[in-house]
Chains A and B, each alone.
Chain A
Amino acid sequence: MAGLELLSDQGYRLDGRKPSELRKVQARMGIFTRADGSAYIEQGNTKALAVVYGPHEVRGSRSKTLHDRAVINCQYSMATFSTAERKRRPHGDRKSSEMSLHLKQTFEAAILTQLYPRSQIDIYVKILQSDGGNYSACVNAATLAVIDAGIPIRDYVCACSAGFVEDTPLVDLCHAEETGSGTAVALALLPRGGQIALLQMDARLHQDHLDPVMEAAMTACRSLGQVLDGVVRQHLQEVSILTGE
């Protein structure tokens, strides 16, 4: 029999979710003390770690220095054990460099870089376990890490993937859905203003379907925003209790 039935007639997905439901999100901030900011996030079986250093002086070649704003340096990598088959090259392949570039673009749009001229902010993200939606997990983890580092940011950057199966948009795709559905859209949103920081789509999707898919992805990003907000508040509460303020 051909393939997996990604969406049943009763409207349930492979893993029992409905089309507009997200996977379970769990996150923690401030997990490394040595770094300026750090966060860990789990979106279902996708697990990502983000670490932020800076803002600090520009390292390496001085020529990169920008006089009106900070340079954002992103590095994305996947752990060798993150996929079902061992990865041969954990970072530096074409896909990783592309992902690093996308992350950089996303955060250049969100961080108030003009506050830190002639300096640099490093964001390192690592996928520990991959089950679809790697980009979104990275963005969400990095947002928390940036907030943890105390770097001023316009808004939470929330990212979510969405696909289109049987005339229904699905959000937060798992690996099976990502490979099976054909088209996947990754969207990073600043929920309060509704600005889109990044929108990426690799496969073809008919124009008529783009709007519903984007709408679904944006709704999902907004709810993710609320979850992240909850995580930050919780973290602040814990920290303030510890410091006795």
Chain B
Amino acid sequence: MLKSKTFLKKTRSGRVLKVVREHYLRDDIWCGSELCVECRQESPPPPVLQRDACRESSLCASRHYIIPDTNVVLHQIDILEDPLINNVIILQTVLQEVRHRSAPIYKRIKDVIHNASKHFYTFTNEHHRETFIEREQGESANDRNDRAIRTAARWYSEHLKKAPDGEELQVILLTDDKGNREKAEGCGVIAYKCEEYIKSLIGSPELMDRLALCTDDANEITSSKILFPEHLPLSRIQAGIKSGTFLQGVFRASRDNYLEATVFVQGDGDDGTEILIQGLQNLNRAVHQDLVAVELLPRNLWVTPSSVVLVDEGPKGDEDGDGDEEEQKMLKCDASESMLKPTGKIVGIIKRNWRPFCGMLSRSEIKEATRHLFTPADRRIPRIRIETRQASALMGQRIMVAIDGWPKSSRYPNGHFVRSLGSAGDKETETEVLLLEHDVPHQPFSQAVLSFLPKMPWAIAEEKHDHFLRHICIELVDPPGCTDIDDALHCRDLGNGNLEVGVHIADVSHFIRPGNTLDQEAASRGTTVYLCEKRIDMVPELLSSNLCSLRCNVDRLAFSCIWEMNHNAEIISTRFTKSVINSKASLTYAEAQLRIDDTNMNDDVTRSLRGLNALAKILKKRRIDKGALTLSSPEVRFHMDSETHDPIDLQAKELKETNSLVEEFMLLANISVAQKIYDEFSECALLRKHPAPPPSNYDILSKAAKAKGLVIRTDSAKALADSLDMAQVEGFSYFNTLLRILGTRCMMQAVYFCSGMDSDFHHYGLASPIYTHFTSPIRRYADIIVHRLLAVAIGADCTYSDLMDKHKQAALCNNLNYRHKMAQYAQRASVAFHTQLFFKSRGIQNEDGYILFVRKNAIIVLIPKFGLEGTVFFENKEKRGPRLLFDEEIPGVSMSPPEMEPEAKRVKLI
């Protein structure tokens, strides 16, 4: 049957168009039930909905299928994801509305649908002859969709009645909309409220806690006092943004101060401005990462970012404490005109960016209460009020909670319990928490992924490879015991006065073929994440630790970059080739250093090492002369107990000459490869850039230097590098390192990008005009893509479509950048956690520390021995500290700071 859809549409230029679309209504759409005999198709897929769709419910004794409406899917996705809920029919109308309203939930519901054990069936009701309905005169789109859902539900119940022994099978519509429910019952469909239905399920009371609170419930919870201004409707926000009265940006809460946040407004091109938001009223219920609309305040109300550290202490006494006002006062500080930042207030939320949050339950003081506050692990997220009956069981556990809404009369958002992760402080649980918080995919590899691994025992098919570079390689391993070795080096004299230097990288792209599940999984993971006691692999272990690991004395496939160089480290020619290598020695950095230094050793390996070392020194000098930066960050390494994996000692990382030897050649290989792939594929080369930071980023650095009477020039990378070298303070040798640590924080993030989508390729930190990642394909997906590009460029492999599609590449780059950032954060969090574990067993210790920043009521202290950074408050609740004079210009406090040894640890443990 043919129908045509006609609707009017406004074009971007403001003209009104009449769009006519055809719509074919079908009679061959299958209902998906195992019972049905009527609508079998030729070659039917296995039925999705089971014959025995059994859940024991006091409301509905017989077998039944569930049809949720759009709002139920949007709000109760946690319930739908629960393994107890199965045999659900998701209508196309619902799916489309969800897609339109919330991308993350759309993704989640699709994942559920794809999970075969959940028995979720998508019924294409909009294309079905009997369930399609037309919008009636004067009917709103929402009402039409509700009607479509009811029509489909009715069709299902009638359709299934016709099936043999389908009599007792019921179809239940779940809707929270009262009107919709009444109308549904009016036309003979069984409809329940979601809450009602979940409550009726026998044998699964824990599902109740996962139920999201709906809006009418929320009113009961809180007092009627209105705390926040109303959010504007989307239409007015859009009008405001268009006319320029409002600005649209991403809300970023401050880590240190819960009453302060910035909104990052993307300007034209790359630059953006930050708008300061201060005070609970102005923050107006925005949560970190939301897309919000901001209105700028008049200039006389502009303020400076406060330098107070404020942690939301939660309710003191009654629910919505007066403590807030006191703290709000603390923000105020008189400052000079020049320090004022554009300040604004949030007028509306364009898009929430809520995800489930990990954290701890803080139990209500009233024993029988079912409403409790939840404290997220991420300090930028406000506390969340949840309702649960199992509070006593959840105490001391790490739990996950999702936000449902934030009514304007409530101090905190309302949420619901999702699941428990395990007891707090437990190493497994904490690792799980930090992986989840940083969105690191860490499930074991699925069977589908593993099926693409080569079958063992595996050997190199000899005839295919023409380049054998056996017997000439050295490899360097760091740390001792590392199993995923992805690089090897060699150097030999060519006899014509020149040297041949080769960098050999594991040929991972030989094993991971484009497009298969293994490849997709690796692309989505993006990088291997190294935690203190654990490694979350990007590719399965068989590859990472065996077949792609260039272990010594075995044949391995490699991708080699070979230069001919003279003794001044000038490149005469470069060539790339796939090869088979057989590494002769596996050395740690320390062992390599010993060999270089030991004049008695004169074998091949040692001579080769010395050659490399000499070249590396020249390369490094040349690079630094060009303005490459050496910055520093406090890095520590734990010595783990081999049995319990508890940290037993920790020390700062040491760098040896050989570290920089390897690094130099890796950099050189990366640059050579970047140049090659860019020459070959100017539109779709995957490169890495490091943009120069805007001058304002250097403020903290120059201020810190000024405190010691030094000047840091930041006009170019070269000037910065030089002035950092010059910045020495007599008798305070660590000062230079401190400056370099601060310098690191001024930098922008280096990012991957696709050459066809950008014009600025410069790598600021390395002072290289072009750069990419080629040298670690085992642990970075970007390198695999670069390998593939290079393989195509030298004719060693064939191309495929996604490789040449710059939009797909750009999307891939976004994911990789995100994963890399998250992996870094996860790594840091893991170090922080292990530091805490370490101190837990240690008790109070005295160590020297340096002050990094000074805030109005606190200082931030770095203890170099442990690489630990912590906040030390000057005053506690009980005892007031000495009066301090605070100078905004040069952060400094004119008094003798209190002894800070034990504090650092305590503060960190909060």
Contact = CB atoms under 8 A, between A and B. Distances in A.
Contact of A12 (B18, B124, B799, B802): B124
Contacts of B2: 24
A17 to B, nearest CB: 6
Interface string B1-43: 0101000000100010111111111100000000000000000
B18 A1 contact: no
A9 B113 contact: yes
A16 B24 contact: yes
Nearest to B800: A208
Nearest to B26: A16
A211 interface: no
Contacts of A84: 17-19
A208 B18 contact: no
A206 B113 contact: no
B801 A16 contact: no
A24 B804 CA distance: 36
B409 interface: no
Interface string B769-806: 00000000000000000000000000000011110110
A93 to B, nearest CB: 20
B114 to A, nearest CB: 8
B801 A206 contact: yes
Given A1-B99, A206-B801, A176 B21 contact: yes
Contacts of B100: 1
Interface in A173-218: 174, 176, 205-209
A54 B805 CA distance: 48
A209 B4 CA distance: 32
A115 interface: no
A117 interface: no
B728 interface: no
A1 B799 CA distance: 32
A5 B4 CA distance: 19
A14 B124 CA distance: 11
A45 B22 CA distance: 7
Nearest to A210: B801
A205 B804 CA distance: 10
Interface residues of A, number: 24
Nearest to B114: A9
B122 interface: yes
Given A44-B22, A45-B4, A84-B17, A1 B113 contact: no
A60 B179 CA distance: 74
Contact of B17 (A14, A23, A85): A85
B910 interface: no
Contacts of A209: 801
A10 B20 CA distance: 24
Contacts of A234: none
B92 interface: yes
A16 B99 contact: no
A97 B245 CA distance: 48
Nearest to B803: A206
B610 interface: no
Interface in B107-140: 110, 113, 122, 124, 126-127
A45 B122 contact: no
B103 interface: yes
A16 B25 contact: yes
Contact of B15 (A23, A45, A85): A85
A97 to B, nearest CB: 26
A15 B22 contact: yes
Contact of B122 (A10, A44, A85): A10
Contacts of A131: 20, 22
Contacts of B124: 8, 10, 12
Interface string A1-43: 1000100111010111100000110000000000000000000
Interface string B85-100: 0000000100010011
Nearest to A164: B801
A8 B21 contact: no
A206 B804 contact: yes
A74 B21 CA distance: 30
A10 B15 CA distance: 35
Nearest to B122: A10
A45 B805 CA distance: 32
Contact of A17 (B24, B802, B804): B24
Contact of B20 (A9, A12, A45, A208): A45
Nearest to A176: B21
Nearest to B9: A84
B246 to A, nearest CB: 22
B21 A16 contact: no
B110 A9 contact: yes
B99 A14 contact: no
B127 A16 contact: yes
Which of the listed residues A16, A84, A176 has the most CB atoms from chain B within 10 Å of its own CB? A16
Contacts of A205: 801
A205 B21 CA distance: 27
Nearest to A15: B22
A174 B5 CA distance: 14
A201 to B, nearest CB: 14
Nearest to B129: A16
A206 B24 contact: no
A14 B802 CA distance: 25
A15 B23 contact: yes
A120 B419 CA distance: 80
Contacts of B805: 206
Given A8-B124, A10-B122, A16-B127, 10 more contacts: A1-B99, A5-B99, A9-B122, A10-B124, A14-B21, A15-B24, A16-B23, A84-B18, A85-B17, A206-B799
12 contacts: A1-B99, A1-B103, A5-B99, A10-B92, A12-B124, A16-B25, A17-B24, A24-B2, A45-B21, A206-B801, A208-B800, A208-B801
Interface of B: 2, 4, 11, 15, 17-26, 92, 96, 99-100, 103, 110, 113, 122, 124, 126-127, 799-802, 804-805
The list of the 3 closest CB pairs from A to B, nearest first, reads A206-B801, A16-B127, A16-B24
Interface of A: 1, 5, 8-10, 12, 14-17, 23-24, 44-45, 84-85, 131, 174, 176, 205-209
